[in-house]
Amino acid sequence: SLQELRRFKTDFGGDWYFGFYPDFINQYGIRSLDSTVIIDKKGNVAYRDDTITTTEKLDGLIQELL
């Protein structure tokens, strides 16, 4: 729940951004905290994985889509 996410962030001193959008999560089949989904300009999934994605990989993928 959103309340649990806020409590987790407070308890662990989080300085990160997070989003809680159940419709988005369901639409794109997100199953883990480390899920990465990149959506192109047409709304299609251009990339997805359920593991940690490096910044180098993300940068390359985003540059390809721009």
Of all residues in the chain, the percent with pLDDT exceeding 70 is 94
Residue 37 pLDDT exceeds 70: yes
Does position 24 have pLDDT exceeding 90, yes or no?
no
Q: Is the dihedral of CA 63, 59, 44, 49 positive or negative?
A: positive
pLDDT over threshold 80, residue 26:
yes
The pLDDT score that the predictor gives to residue 59 is 92
| Higher pLDDT, residue 15 or 57 | 57
The pTM score is 0.60
CB 48 within 8 A of CB 36: yes
CA distance 31 to 41: 23
